[in-house]
Chain A
């Protein structure tokens, strides 16, 4: 009996230690990244052109590629999420689509990058471009979008659908006017999640969007090469010739984490809290 109690005490202590170790690790990472970064971060660094040692063009490309990739992936991802949640009947086709989504979700991002290299860069002859990078990045976003769409549509009570159909609405009218509005917050949270991940992605982009920036800034031409912030961090590390490589790396790392934090806190978190409140009250 005392043995049991001793085992319990020891195990509990270990579990607490593990929990705090994990939290401590995160605190350390954030403190280190931001601490190092704040020595470097300045308006000139964040928004300035490359010639003045800034990462302005890379920051611009990061958002530009993100937005384009969402333009490609959101319609298809949300569309197939809607198909799986609203139309799909159990059967071979549904099973295959589900399996495809799961598979696509585990394809390593470097493999998606190489696929983009074959299709967009070589086969379609785009070369290293913002457009090609965005298209490849869209492949990374796609399975997550399918999953979050399906999940958030499934939280909409079945009674809403029945109520709408019983009034003589078509299935599309029901989806557009009742189901989608009711699951909008879930969708927005999902897209935020996807964006946070896409912002930090580098492996997909190195061989599709390239590692150089346009001479113009900002350059909205989607057919020029567009290095993003994450790719830049990767690139300066490998190029000892870049002046101030260490400072640029530290600043880029902090900036990346800040952008991701911003997405999580400014968009993701309020949505999550609001959703919880909505669920609690109704």
Chain B
């Protein structure tokens, strides 16, 4: 299967501290890749490398190569705005903008130049349907998104992202702030989305990784300890530390 991302020998420093060490991994197209590990192990930091969200943080320094479709995302001819349009992100806490449901979803298409009202209506409906939210919000499209429940807000954020038609969806513990039912809905959604998108998801919930992902990477203290097909990693881990983690002996 084709690679979407190729990460080669990535090191990341925050001020004087090295937060990621020699990470190399291939992320396959139209698959779900899960990143697991205890808090502070570097999995979120790694995720934020992939669409350069770390650029916003003062004092972060990166070396190594990250190729998206064979193009170095840190290359001089790459524009970070365009990169983020291709590689979108869903955050740990739902962060809908303080505007209507409709405006939230239409936000991305609008900033990318879509002004046609009919076209926008179409995109909004399609995105909300893809995020399995349409039925719940179709009668309150023009009310504030802040009135939705947490789970709905998170699916709205996914819809908002799908509206810009990214190639890759990065998810940073997207269900950690949600109740079990909402979590289930989002996991179902993930399985649908994978037919069209490449998905990378950070989770500290191992069952979730096991349920939804095709490949899993285990991070510990800034190292990537083990990376492989999810089933293998969870049933026959090669590294003792991975085994300790998945059997719950620490973390």
Are A and B close enough to touch in the complex, i.e. CB under 8 Å? yes
Asked if A197 lies at the interface with its beta carbon under 8 angstroms from chain B, I say no
A3 interface residue per 8 A CB criterion: no
Give Cα A164 to B157, complex, Å.
10
Q: Across the interface, which residues of B come within 8 angstroms of A182, CB to CB? A: 97-98
Q: Are B98 and A167 in contact (CB under 8 A)?
A: no
B58 within 8 A of A: yes
CB atoms of A160 and B112 under 8 A apart: no
Check B95 against A167 for contact (C-beta < 8 Å). Answer: no
Cβ of A162: which chain B residues have Cβ within 8 Å of it? 53, 56, 89, 91, 95
State whether B146 touches A167 (Cβ < 8 A): no
Contact B111 A173 (CB under 8 A): yes
With A166-B84, A167-B164 in contact, is A177–B51 under 8 Å at CB? no
Tally of chain A residues near chain B (CB < 8 A): 22
Which residue of B58, B93, B97 is within 8 Å of A164 (Cβ)?
B97
Secondary structure dominating the interface of A: helix
| A-contacting residues, B156-174, CB 8 Å | 157, 160-161, 164, 166
**Pair B98/A168 contact, Cβ less than 8 Å:** no
User: Does B82 touch A at the CB level, under 8 Å?
Assistant: yes
Report the minimum CB–CB distance from B131 to chain A (whole Å). Answer: 14
* Residue pair B53, A168 in contact (C-beta under 8 Å): no
* Interchain nearest-CB distance for A167 vs B (Å): 4
Q: Which of A163, A165, A282 has the most CB of B within 10 A?
A: A163
**Contact call B95/A163, Cβ cutoff below 8 A:** yes
Closest to A159 in B: B95
Taken together as a complex, chains A and B put the C-alpha atoms of A167 and B114 apart, in Å, by 14
Check B164–A282 contact: CB distance below 8 A: no
Residue A181 is within 8 A (CB to CB) of chain B in the complex: yes
Flag whether A157 is at the interface (Cβ < 8 A).
Answer: yes
Q: Which residues of B contact A89 (CB under 8 A)?
A: 58
- Residues from chain B with a CB closer than 8 A to the CB of A167 are 84-85, 88, 107-108, 111, 160-161, 164
Q: Which of A157, A168, A177, A282 is within 8 Å of B112, CB to CB?
A: A168
Q: Which residue of B lies closest to A171 (CB)?
A: B81
Within 8 A of B (CB), among A177-225: 177-178, 181-182
CB-contact partner of A166 in B51, B82, B99, under 8 A: B51
Taking a contact as CB atoms closer than 8 A, the residue among A90, A168, A177 that contacts B84 in the complex is A168
The answer to whether B53 and A181 touch across the interface, beta carbons within 8 angstroms, is no
Query: Sorted from nearest, which 3 A-B pairs have the closest CB atoms?
Result: A168-B85, A159-B95, A166-B89
9 contacts between A and B (CB under 8 A): A89-B58, A90-B58, A162-B89, A163-B160, A166-B53, A166-B91, A167-B160, A168-B81, A169-B107
